[in-house]
Structure 1
Amino acid sequence: MAQSIDHGRRLAGKVAVITGGAKGIGRATAKLFAEQGAKVVIGDLSFEDVTATAAALSPEGDVVGVVCDVRHETDIQNLMATAVNRFGRLDILVANAGIIPEAFLADATAELWDDTMAVDARGMFLSAKYAGLEMVKAGSGAIVLLSSISGQIGQLGQVVYGPAKFVASGLTKHLAIELAPKGVRVNAVAPGTIETPAVAAMSPEGIAKGIAKHPLGRIGKAEEVAWGILFLASDEASFITGAILPIDGGFLAQ
């Protein structure tokens, strides 16, 4: 039977964890989730960033900041435990933490590969693992992974980042099949070029080329990605799992 949904506060009564939640798409998603009624635990690298973000988004304490480096398994375990201990449950994971290195094959090093995979691939896997285990206990939950257009097609200058995002896309499909019988949905978003601190750190030439390839002719906003994440995390998407939603200004339609 379809669930009754409060469309005014679509996450009322839900508890969410967002990795990389102090900046960019993560912060925009945390803000939107809090506005939609969720209790939110954000994880990020800096104590100052997570505490300031949590205080700004919810002075009442409905948003909590935790220092978390997704390269470290114990940090991720602590992040999930904080949600359960503080708010009594864990309903949603947004695995957003990531880095976006630009590299061609000749310049890419083994160290850059390892660092990127540690954050974008291993960190995402561990986040999904420990959130998923909590959700399986409850018999329900929604996981949203951050893939990318680079996790769907090949692109120049992303010989390291692109394969890491293919991991996100593959993880989405495989976890969706494994966890569906246990009441847990797993989906992903595939953003195009989005206005975030990580993208701002890229070369101007790289950004300009990226924008030019988007049929809508502009860079996307973090808030636009957050709305897509909200949909996939909400009960409105209760019959959707294993999907990868492009939020890319038409990039992948070409």
Structure 2
Amino acid sequence: MPVHETHHGNPPHGRIEDKVAVITGAANGMGRATAERFAAEGARLVLADLDGEKLGAFVEEIGAGGSDVVGVRGDVSSEADVQFLMCEAVRHFGRIDILIANAGIIPEADLASATVDLWDHTMAVDGRGMFLSCKYAAAEMVKAGKGAIVCLSSISAFAGQKGQAVYGPAKFVASGLTKHLAIDLADKGVRVNAVAPGTIDTPAVAQLGKEGIEKVISMHPLGRMGKPEEVASAILFLASDEASFITGAVLPVDGGYLAQ
């Protein structure tokens, strides 16, 4: 599994200055926006994605901006790949301070059209992938007696929706894992929280088409989709010391969707 070149520089001071942050699913959407925000806040980054070509280009871009960053191509549903990712983080930077467990897929399927293979693949990526990422990152954090994990959940983990017979249950895993790991790791100095985005303007959502996008926008009281940068801001808060007394929380970033 190829590892892209590490770039060294002098990032600006920020709320997570010099923290080592592992971000999965970092080449697109909310993962990419989070990586950009973390770089601006002074973090040292370990970025992971299944799309090695896009990840490599992004790592070069972030590195050219002056951040310390390394990219690792891998599949979060593979235990070997996740172990390798965390080992690379420790090899390059000596520790892991923050994990953003973002990698996931968003299939649309109702019960009739959903196949067993689609269910298994979604649970492997969105469920097992998050479990593995948390498991092996937390093992390094426990050694240091501190750390912060932020998982990506969804409004689909709280509100029933048409066409989400597979994705919705997978995001229940994200929220449930967050709460149980928060208790399991609290006495070890590791905080575990999650964000639950509503409909965010990402390439995946763009595939819904004009009619589909208008429909989902109408379901959000603020009358628009969210921006990846807005989710990144919530993730940054939960990962930073500003949230030092917060664990087990699932923060909606949803334009009021769940308030209805």
What TM-score results when the alignment is normalised by the length of structure 2?
0.93
* Aligned counterpart, 1:79: 85
Partner Cα separation in structure 2 for residue 129 and residue 200 of structure 1: 33
Partner Cα separation in structure 1 for residue 213 and residue 123 of structure 2: 22
* Aligned counterpart, 1:187: 193
Name the amino acid aligned to 1:34. A
Q: What are the Cα deviations for residues 65-85 of structure 1, in whole angstroms up to 9, with x where unaligned?
A: 110111111111111111111
Deviation at 1:51?
A: 1.2
**Match of 1:12, SS?**
coil
Runs of 4+ in 1 over 6 A off after TM superposition: none
Name the amino acid aligned to 1:242. G
* Aligned counterpart, 1:33: 38
Structure 2 residue 140 is the aligned partner of structure 1 residue 121: no
Tell me, yes or no, if the aligned pair for 1:143 and 1:233 is still in contact at 8 Å: yes
Deviation at 1:49?
A: 1.2
**Match of 2:30, SS?**
helix
**Match of 1:173, SS?**
helix
Name the amino acid aligned to 1:128. C
Structure 2 residue 223 is the aligned partner of structure 1 residue 223: no
* Aligned counterpart, 1:24: 29
Aligned length: 248
Partner Cα separation in structure 1 for residue 142 and residue 16 of structure 2: 19
Name the amino acid aligned to 1:102. E
Tell me, yes or no, if the aligned pair for 1:51 and 1:64 is still in contact at 8 Å: no
Q: Which runs of 5+ in 2 are unaligned?
A: 1-11
Tell me, yes or no, if the aligned pair for 1:55 and 1:61 is still in contact at 8 Å: no
Partner Cα separation in structure 2 for residue 135 and residue 28 of structure 1: 24
Tell me, yes or no, if the aligned pair for 1:100 and 1:199 is still in contact at 8 Å: no
* Aligned counterpart, 1:209: 215
* Aligned counterpart, 1:197: 203
What TM-score results when the alignment is normalised by the length of structure 1?
0.95
* Aligned counterpart, 2:116: 110
**Match of 2:119, SS?**
helix
Between the two proteins, what is the percent identity of the paired residues?
69
**Match of 2:141, SS?**
helix
Matches within 5 A, 1:84-163: 84-163=90-169
Deviation at 1:220?
A: 0.6
Tell me, yes or no, if the aligned pair for 2:97 and 2:141 is still in contact at 8 Å: yes
* Aligned counterpart, 2:48: 43
1:174 to 167, 180, 184: 180
Deviation at 1:89?
A: 0.9
* Aligned counterpart, 1:3: none
Between 1:84-93 and 1:203-212, the stretch displaced more is: 203-212
Deviation at 1:206?
A: 3.5
Deviation at 1:185?
A: 0.1
Tell me, yes or no, if the aligned pair for 1:141 and 1:184 is still in contact at 8 Å: yes
Q: What are the Cα deviations for residues 36-60 of structure 1, in whole angstroms up to 9, with x where unaligned?
A: 0100111001221111101111224
Partner Cα separation in structure 2 for residue 34 and residue 173 of structure 1: 28
Name the amino acid aligned to 2:153. S
Matches within 5 A, 1:226-245: 226-245=232-251
1:62 to 58, 62, 68: 68
**Match of 1:56, SS?**
helix
Partner Cα separation in structure 2 for residue 156 and residue 40 of structure 1: 37
